[in-house]
Amino acid sequence: MRHGIQKDPDWEYLAALLADGDDNDQVAFFKAFLKECSSWGTRLQVENQFAFINGKLTDAEKEAFSMISYMGAGNE
């Protein structure tokens, strides 16, 4: 959805802003992203989209993102 956005965002600039934010900013982003994806209708649609994203990441990028979905101490 475009949500009234008039031109393509500068993703590198937005990513730099997010990376320079603190973990609260980053958590807010990922939660909002997931909430939007979850509005599509089914869990399968969201899983498929994440699989498509995963397929375009390098092994090093996948490794760097691996802690986002880590389940363990502090995540109960």
Confidence of residue 8 (pLDDT cuts 50, 70, 90): confident
Per-residue pLDDT tens digits for 31-74: 999 999 999 989 999 999 999 999 999 999 999 999 888 777 66
CA angle in degrees (0–180, nearest 5) for 64-24-56: 30
18 located within any domain: no
57 located within any domain: yes
pLDDT at 9: 86
29 located within any domain: yes
| Per-residue tokens: 53 | 């994203």
State how many domains the chain has: 1
**Is 3's pLDDT higher than 80?**
no
74 located within any domain: no
60 located within any domain: yes
> DSSP per residue over the chain, as a string?
--TT--S---HHHHHHHHHHS-HHHHHHHHHHHHHHHHTTS-HHHHHHHHHHHHHTS-HHHHHHHGGGG--STT--
75 located within any domain: no
Which structural domain, as residue segments, surrounds residue 38?
A: 23-69
Question: What is this structure's pTM?
Answer: 0.76
CB contact at 8 A, 46 and 54: no
